[in-house]
Amino acid sequence: MDHIEAWRDLFVMLGTSSAALIGLLYVVTSLHLDEIINNPASRRHARSNSLYLIITVVDAALVLTPQPGLFLGIELAVLNLVALAIPLRNIFTILADWRGAHRAGFAFHRSLIFVFAFASAVAGGAVLAIGSNWGLYLVTASYVVLVVSVTLNAWAIMVGIVQTEKNKGRSANRPKKRA
């Protein structure tokens, strides 16, 4: 697996960025724990984001582990195939209650982006398993899409929490109607 050595620094950087983002996500979550726990959509977003980042750290660890390309490819394909269950479950949630999911901040297109990213990593793992090094390009593209998407999702969670807090503040300051 000499070709992996050329990717080493990139995957060290990607794994480190994912680990840092996990830490930041937990800090933000802990600062607004009540709002996240009391809002099923925010809770699901935060849990999904955490899982996505954990999966990317494991992807980086697998790539950085000295092993034959066949094993690496199989491991990456299986991990990312299992990971597909997360965005697919979110899609089913959206489809089951379109209006409620939309009000809660779920976006169908965001879930499709995660499906595409994990499917790309599955394909990259399969390509590596059959002996072609270009599978790492698919895995890397998937990784970058996941990290960027999780970052944007985290931003959406924070904006949603701030909006919820503002709305609570406005309703608390309104004069009560007399009956």
Give me the residue spans of the domains in the chain: 2-172
C-alpha to C-alpha distance for 44 and 29, rounded to whole angstroms: 12
Question: Is residue 171 exposed (0-12), middle (13-18) or buried (19+ Cβ within 10 Å)?
Answer: exposed
Q: What is the mean pLDDT of residues 17-43?
A: 83
Give the pLDDT of residue 101.
Answer: 62
* pTM, entire model: 0.83
Confidence of residue 92 (pLDDT cuts 50, 70, 90): confident
